[in-house]
Structure 1
Amino acid sequence: MRALLLCLLLAPALGACRYNFVPLIPPQIEPQLPARITQASLTRDGETLRLQAQVDGRFEPGYLGVAWFNGAAPLGTDSVYLDAAQRRATFTLRAPEKGAYRAVLSFGGAVLRQVELYEVQP
């Protein structure tokens, strides 16, 4: 009889036990990925080098810059303004002779990728 009475008194307290501090389904995590270059190619079209690049990810509008090199010798720089509507850029450089060309792409002060075209041994 005492056990039955004890169960009746403790029933409301035991029925209210649940995990309040741990969510049963965790919230969805939205990763904050930095800007990245997903597609980049450096090709020759006659006497012109053509660099095409696409920037993906979440980024503030800014300039995508390229620095051109033939081996270790710098050839020049260029930049294109990108925003959410314009994520692709095309750069050209006149290069009549074959060489070991490199294009270093940077965005927001950070180097993102280097693309190479070796027509001769570096």
Structure 2
Amino acid sequence: MRAPASFPIRLLVLACLLAPALTACRYAYFPLVPKPVEVTLPARVTTATLKRDGANLLLQARVEGRFDPGYLSVAWFDGAQELGHDSVYLDAAQRDASFRLEAPNPGAYRAVISFGGTVLRQVELYEILP
């Protein structure tokens, strides 16, 4: 059985009537260049070493990233016992800091480094088991 000759014409008319309804759900505008993403990374400690220097512990740290000038602080611990605090002022020109703590006896030492009240890194030197 053959379809009548008017069948392709009816299908074409139906497709023309439905075309506006089918394209109405599509986006009419695509931005060619997306908006730039602005990312501000917090200050971070890129290098931190804790080592023994005779009867002292020596901590050296470097802060990278964009930050407002402020104090880089260190809290010293031997196991769970807090030994003391120290801080040094850093700005864009001065990004390196060195801290020294008198510690003649071997121990399980930790130094917690913070900047602006935010803890950035902890470094450890285990001369004995904690």
Is 1:36 the counterpart of 2:33? The answer is no
How has the CA–CA distance of structure 1 residues 73 and 25 changed in structure 2, closer, same or farther, with 3 Å as cutoff? Answer: same
CA gap 1:121/1:30 in 2 versus in 1, 3 angstroms: same
Question: Is 1:62 the counterpart of 2:70 in the alignment?
Answer: yes
Residue 24 (structure 1) aligned with residue 12 (structure 2): no
Q: Which runs of 5+ in 1 are unaligned?
A: 1-18
Using the TM superposition, give the Cα deviation of residue 93 of structure 1 relative to its aligned residue in structure 2, in angstroms.
0.5
Matched-pair identity in %: 67
Amino acid at match of 1:31: V
Deviation for aligned residue 1:21: 5.0
Identify the residue that residue 128 of structure 2 maps to in structure 1. Answer: 120
Q: Deviations over 1:71-112 (max 9, x none)?
A: 011111000000000011000011111000000001001111
- Does residue 1:71 correspond to 2:68, yes or no? no
Across the aligned residues of Structure 1 and Structure 2, the Cα RMSD in angstroms comes to: 1.5
Q: For this pair of structures, how many residues does the alignment match?
A: 104
Match for residue 113 of structure 2? 105
Give the letter aligned to residue 101 of structure 2.
Answer: L
1:9-20 matched pairs, under 5 angstroms: none
Cα offset, 1:27, TM superposition: 3.8
- Counterpart Cα distance in 2 of 1:74 and 1:96: 16
Question: Once superposed, which parts of structure 1, at least 4 consecutive aligned residues long, lie more than 6 Å away?
Answer: none
One-letter identity of the residue aligned with 1:45: D
Q: Distance in 2 between matches of 1:114 and 1:80?
A: 17
